[in-house]
Amino acid sequence: MAPRVLTPRRLVINAERRFQRARLVFGHGTDNARDEAVFLVFHALGLPFNVNEATLDRPVAAEAAASVEALVARRISEQRPAAYLTGRMWFCGHEFAVDERVLVPRSPIGELINERFTPWLDASRVQRVLDIATGSGCIAIATALALPEALVDATDISDAALTVARANAARLGVAARVRFHLTDIYPDAGEPYDLILANPPYVPQMTVWMWCDACWLRRGLISRRTACW
């Protein structure tokens, strides 16, 4: 019997089944095995998410299929979020670079940003914004893109996180309007803010200790000195 021809569609289906058998936990950008499989397979193959049906059924070269297999195998064996394996995640329709220095972008604040904060605010009157615990900068940057007349300050106590955030701001073209500050809560600013946003880490330390042996703590990805994550 001739071997099955590997196509993007078949690779997605195979990955989905393996993720289900492995009982992976989702929630960092996707919430189910199928979407996670699409995200990783398309990343490995360099395919856009709006790919046409014909492309999904075209044969995949052996080298490309091997890249997919490596990524899928790592997702299962390392139990790391797909965003950290690929180094990217979307928020408010924009692609952000992410790694273990920051949390994966995911916040209901994104829905407010997409609506330009209506009906809660008149977006045309927002001139100054503060984003507390900015992490990757996703909320601050997406807000700056949604409110092109606003100046955004973003704070974080992690210099490593701010390095990621500054790179994201530069890549998305808002570095001149988003200022990052290494400080806790508020920067040294004289004028009041029209809008203050915050989506800080909120997992208590005790919850982290209760995680299973495969949790990130045991893998050395967070410190025992961290009070919240």
Would you state the structure tokens that stand for residue 118, as one six-digit string? 């209506």
Rg (CA), the chain: 20
pTM, full prediction: 0.81
Would you state the structure tokens that stand for residue 80, as one six-digit string? 């790391």
Residue pLDDT, tens place only, 58-71: 999 999 999 999 99
Confidence of residue 210 (pLDDT cuts 50, 70, 90): low
Distance, CA of 85 to CA of 90 (rounded, Å): 14
Residue pLDDT, tens place only, 9-20: 999 999 999 999
Distance, CA of 40 to CA of 52 (rounded, Å): 17
On the question of pLDDT at 219 being above 50, the answer is no
Distance, CA of 127 to CA of 222 (rounded, Å): 36
Task: Quote helix, strand, coil % in the chain, to nearest 5.
Answer: 40, 15, 50
Domain limits of the chain?
Answer: 8-86, 104-198, 199-229
Distance, CA of 146 to CA of 91 (rounded, Å): 12
On the question of pLDDT at 222 being above 60, the answer is no
CATH class for the domain made up of 104-198: alpha beta
Task: Decide which of 75 and 108 is more confident.
Answer: 75
Residue pLDDT, tens place only, 196-209: 999 877 656 555 55
15, 72 contact by CB (below 8 A): yes
